[in-house]
Copies of this chain bind each other. A is one copy, B any other.
Amino acid sequence: MPKVTFFNLPEDKRATLILSLKKEFSRVPLYDASISNIVKAAGIPRGSFYQYFEDKEDAFFFILNDFVACINHQFFTLIKKYNGDLFDTMQEFFQIIIEEEENVHFFRNAFLNMTYRIESTFSRIFKEHETNNNLKVLSSLLNTSILNFSSEEELNHLLQIISAVTFRNIVEKFAKELPNEEALRRYRLELTLLKSGLVRHLERESRGTS
């Protein structure tokens, strides 16, 4: 967390600094980012940076948390839009992320360099966490009648699976610079597989039985 001094900063100075942070973390991933660049861009002396943040990581996760909070909000909006259908929700969720334009480079760097802490920040959306109550809230918003779980633990795992697959698809999209269309097609294919299950059930469906 940034220090109080940061939050006491006059609006415009803070805004400039935040912009400089986003700029640097969009240029390169966290570990290649340089505080020198940030302070140069923000026009503040180096010492000041350390009045505001513990270190580079602190600043990075301040920005990331903000993005994630925003994404989190969008996610919940989508669930309502799709009447609790998790799969329709995820599909548009995926689309929103890969079509995001303003902060593509920031996201690209974050996804291609997913340390556990970064992953953990993102998957907070799908998990119970001190800062939120998402599992409970999700549980109430989801159309659970179509989902294959029989306990809260299973629901949790189900969501972990979905988020892992989703993240992997986003990473692949960025890494291989897939066109949005193609990325979406592949993601849909995986969602379909996830829904129907990875083992063949003859009595249920005809896919692949002929």
Contacts and interface: CB of A to CB of B under 8 A. Distances in A.
Interface of A: 29, 31, 86-87, 111-116, 119-120, 145-150, 153-154, 157-158, 160-162, 164-165, 167-168, 171, 174-175, 186, 189-190, 193-201, 203-204, 207-208
A112 B113 CA distance: 11
Given A147-B198, A193-B154, A164 B164 contact: yes
Contacts of A167: 164
Contacts of A186: 157
A127 to B, nearest CB: 11
A204 B201 CA distance: 8
Given A165-B165, A196-B197, A204-B203, A189 B157 contact: yes
Contacts of A165: 161, 164-165
Contacts of A114: 114-116, 119
A130 B200 CA distance: 30
Nearest to A150: B208
Contact of A194 (B161, B168, B171, B189): B161
B207 A204 contact: no
B116 A115 contact: no
Given A147-B198, A158-B193, A161-B194, 19 more contacts: A116-B171, A146-B199, A148-B196, A148-B199, A148-B207, A150-B207, A153-B189, A154-B189, A154-B193, A157-B189, A160-B168, A160-B190, A161-B193, A164-B165, A194-B197, A195-B198, A197-B197, A201-B201, A204-B204
A86 to B, nearest CB: 8
B196 A194 contact: no
B164 A198 contact: no
A145 B203 contact: no
Q: Which of A149, A162, A193 has the largest count of B CB atoms less than 10 A from its CB?
A: A193
A119 B29 CA distance: 16
